[in-house]
Amino acid sequence: MKAAAFFDLDKTVISKSSSLALARPMYRAGLVNRSAVVRGAYAQIVYLLLGADEKKLERLKEGMLSLSKGWDREEVEDVVRQALVELIDPFIYQEALDLMELHRSEGRLVYIVSSSPEEVVRPLAEHFGEVGVIATRAKIEDGKYTGELEFYCAGDGKAEAISELAARRGIDLSQSYAYSDSISDLPMLEIVGNPVAVNPDRDLRKIAAEREWQVRDFRRPISLRDRLGNVPKPPPKLTGVVLAGAAGAVVGWMLIRPRLARPDRTAAKT
């Protein structure tokens, strides 16, 4: 049987500073004032940074879905692919890229497992080498978004998706690896034989110590733009409000993380 390595995306592959890297270029470019879509996404960023309980998080998720209703899936993915480098330029841990290459060299399959939507994760994952993607799926009809979710890839959902994939591909999970920074990904870490806590939050660090799991601290973030070299500017049809809207959607989705849905932490902050 094959083995695999499963990587969470945000703060595991993308650096801790990625949230700021997503927001600042939009603000500097004035995009937050040029489109109602982007204004809505920016408001959600502020909302999230101030803390969100589970009910608020659910409303934010529904808000992002309603924003995308009626959009063409292929066009959105093309726009996101351009916006990732042109406007967002996320920072990626070199250690994560090196580990992916190591796993591939040893015959393991590599997957990115993220609560962000496929349309965001796939264009980004294209720059990680040969990887598969397990991510949140929006419901599509006739090539357009319906404003509903088909699958939300978070918490237990990640573990279930990995189990289903393992059954289809003949993957031995007892010989596989999983990497994450968040306690919310505990189900994903527990389902493999080799769980690794990467830049773990306090709760995950505690569990990793109790269970004697490996802990890694990634400290070498590199710019996606630097990794790719000279990147052509997007064609005219992808600029302006359309590109701004896609960037806003990327920001909103990338910042909506299960870790924020913890009322006890929120209460302590407010």
Residue with tokens 């949140």: 136
Residue with tokens 């052509």: 232
Please identify which of the residues 10, 78, 181, 185 carries the catalytic annotation.
Answer: 10
In this prediction the pTM is: 0.74
Structure confidence by residue, pLDDT tens digits, 21-60: 444 444 444 433 444 444 445 444 444 444 444 555 555 5
Nearest Cα to 203, choosing from 180, 221, 220? 180
Residue with tokens 């109602």: 36
Burial grade of 145 (CB within 10 A; 0-12, 13-18, 19 or more): buried
Q: What is the mean pLDDT of the chain?
A: 74
Cα–Cα dist 239/127, whole Å: 22
Domain formed by 4-257, architecture: 3-Layer(aba) Sandwich (3.40)
8 Å CB contact between 251 and 41: yes
| Residue 159 confidence (pLDDT) above 60 | yes
Average pLDDT of span 183-207: 96
Domain boundaries, the chain: 4-257
Please identify which of the residues 8, 89, 181, 185 carries the catalytic annotation.
Answer: 8
Is 58 or 73 the better-scoring residue by pLDDT?
Answer: 73
Quote the strand ranges of 23-120, DSSP E.
91-93, 109-117
Question: What pLDDT is stored for residue 81 in this prediction?
Answer: 72
The verdict on whether 8 is a catalytic residue reads yes
Is 147 or 5 the better-scoring residue by pLDDT?
Answer: 5
| Residue 131 confidence (pLDDT) above 90 | yes
The verdict on whether 201 is a catalytic residue reads no
